[in-house]
Structure 1
Amino acid sequence: MFVKRIIPLVVLLALFAGFFWFDLDRYLTFQALSDHRDSLLAFVADHYLTALALYFVLYAVSVAASIPGGVLMTVTGGFLFGWWIAGLVTVVSATLGATLVFLVAETALGEPLRRKAGPWLRPLEVGFQKNALNYLLFLRLVPAFPFWLVNIAPAFLGVPLRTYVVGTFVGIIPGTFVFAFLGTGLDSVILEQQQRYADCLTSGATDCTRAFQISSLLTPEVIVAFVALGLIALLPVILDKIRRAKPDGTLR
């Protein structure tokens, strides 16, 4: 029984390790996207549905295996398919991948961890279960928390699967569509970077680079917007605590 529970976890860990072992992370960079711009656009133009299906599967697998690069993939999706299609497909795909890793973590580690933690974890588990949807929305909306961590933490706190799926699906919609929309303007950035790089090489310089980073799209304004959305998601929890508070500041 234990072996059956642990096999899916081993598979995901193998996918994660294999990703770096075979140096596949080099493809999740702006330079790789810039280098393969023409071939990617040509493939999408000639095999649109196949390309969209591949994007869906690769995104789900990357989320399930906790492979980094979600922002770049989402921006690339917006670049290749348009912000509306990419946003919708990414939300469904990311939710599927997150649900898979949630189920694996819950089956392989969730119950044993809760039994071992005992009284230490119980108050946190009860509190999280009571306001699970609001907490999940906050964690999904605010980009300060690693996506992979938010995927597995609820599995250790006994969050119901339905609540997890709804909280994940709704919570990632704003950020996903923002980055997919940013991807629609990426082509002009790539072409500009390519021209600057070519001009640099022509000038005879030896330190020519393409320094653009996808992370630079996460501007302070975007972060503030996500934090504001996260705080809105927590309002019911905050108001409930205020309503239940006694005059002396303790909770009823």
Structure 2
Amino acid sequence: MSDTSQPNSSGLMRKLPLIIIVAVAAIGAFTLKDYLNFQTLADNREALLSFRDSNYLLTAIVFMAAYAAIVGFSLPGAAVMTLTGGFLFATFPGALFNVTGATIGAIAIFLAARWGLGERLAAKMDTSDGLIKKIKEGIDENQWSMLFLIRLVPAVPFFVANLVPALVGVPLGRYAMSTFIGIIPGAVVYTSVGAGLGEVFDRGETPNLGIIFEPAILLPILGLCALAALPIVLKAVRGKKGL
């Protein structure tokens, strides 16, 4: 009796962090969406700036911890937090604080997903046949390029970019480095928007989150995407020549 219950208990414990994340994300989606928004930031901006001026280091630490929690639990408000980083700390070091907090949160959800599902799923993909195995092999052969691509392409949801690598067996160090570097361009753009939030609020307006899709910003990011995809293209061309 104990022999059969122990594996089940162990499997549940492995999935527990992921279950907690999903539960908190579901609750947060309904309870926090009315609080983690630009209006809340506008209403409390004087208090936030005053606290920052009196406790700069503590504010930075608390901010990064809050950002990590929002990303780690897939809570609403990541865009607001990124702009808040610029509002409180300017483009720099605000972008650094944003990238650090987001990376820590991404690592947390990556580890929870890999511990609960990723290792077993990756093993099954390795032993499978057909299309699934080919997809896994394709990702394995181009991990750096694929990891940078899913971070750089604005259309890829952040939580998807956090989960997919965990489910295909990407090493933690490679995931962390590609996340930190890959989100820098977008983070800098939105942090710079946040640095001008004071003037936006004074005019009674809301920030333009679609700025990243403007040609002057989108084209350089797409150029980085093309650069990240270049090794994949070259490998495919060489493979065809080998045939």
2:214 aligns with one of 208, 214, 220:
220
Q: Report the counterpart of residue 112 of structure 2 in structure 1.
A: 104
**Higher mean C-alpha displacement, 104-113 vs 56-65:** 104-113
User: Residue 76 of structure 2: SS of its match in structure 1?
Assistant: coil
Tell me, in whole angstroms, the C-alpha distance in 2 between the residues paired with 1:224 and 1:20: 33
1:88 aligns to 2:83 (yes or no): no
Q: Report the counterpart of residue 3 of structure 2 in structure 1.
A: none
Tell me, in whole angstroms, the C-alpha distance in 2 between the residues paired with 1:97 and 1:237: 28
Matches within 5 A, 1:222-237: 222-237=217-232
Tell me, in whole angstroms, the C-alpha distance in 2 between the residues paired with 1:152 and 1:61: 16
Matches within 5 A, 1:98-247: 98-114=106-122, 118-119=128-129, 120-193=131-204, 212-221=206-215, 222-246=217-241
Displacement of 1:134 in angstroms is 0.8
Q: Deviations over 1:44-83 (max 9, x none)?
A: 1122222111111011111111123322211110111111
Tell me, in whole angstroms, the C-alpha distance in 2 between the residues paired with 1:152 and 1:125: 15
Quote the RMSD (CA, aligned, Å).
Answer: 1.8
Tell me, in whole angstroms, the C-alpha distance in 2 between the residues paired with 1:52 and 1:112: 38
Tell me, in whole angstroms, the C-alpha distance in 2 between the residues paired with 1:70 and 1:140: 15
Q: Deviations over 1:91-116 (max 9, x none)?
A: 12211111111111111111333455
Check conservation: 1:74, 1:90, Cα contact below 8 A.
Answer: yes
Tell me, in whole angstroms, the C-alpha distance in 2 between the residues paired with 1:79 and 1:114: 41
Give the letter aligned to residue 240 of structure 2: A
**Higher mean C-alpha displacement, 86-95 vs 148-157:** 86-95
Gaps of 5+ in 1: 194-209
Tell me, in whole angstroms, the C-alpha distance in 2 between the residues paired with 1:149 and 1:133: 17
The TM-score with structure 1 as length reference comes to: 0.84
Q: 1:27 to 1:217 in 2, by over 3 A?
A: farther
Tell me, in whole angstroms, the C-alpha distance in 1 between the residues paired with 2:35 and 2:219: 30
Q: Deviations over 1:24-50 (max 9, x none)?
A: 121222222212221211121122222
Q: Percent identity?
A: 36
Displacement of 1:84 in angstroms is 1.0
Gaps of 5+ in 2: 1-9
User: Residue 121 of structure 1: SS of its match in structure 2?
Assistant: helix
Q: Report the counterpart of residue 199 of structure 1 in structure 2.
A: none
The TM-score with structure 2 as length reference comes to: 0.87
1:44 aligns to 2:52 (yes or no): yes
Q: Report the counterpart of residue 40 of structure 2 in structure 1.
A: 32
Matches within 5 A, 1:12-27: 12-21=21-30, 23-27=31-35
Q: Deviations over 1:223-243 (max 9, x none)?
A: 333222111111111122112
Tell me, in whole angstroms, the C-alpha distance in 1 between the residues paired with 2:94 and 2:23: 28
Give the letter aligned to residue 61 of structure 1: A
Q: Report the counterpart of residue 6 of structure 1 in structure 2.
A: 15
Check conservation: 2:148, 2:179, Cα contact below 8 A.
Answer: yes
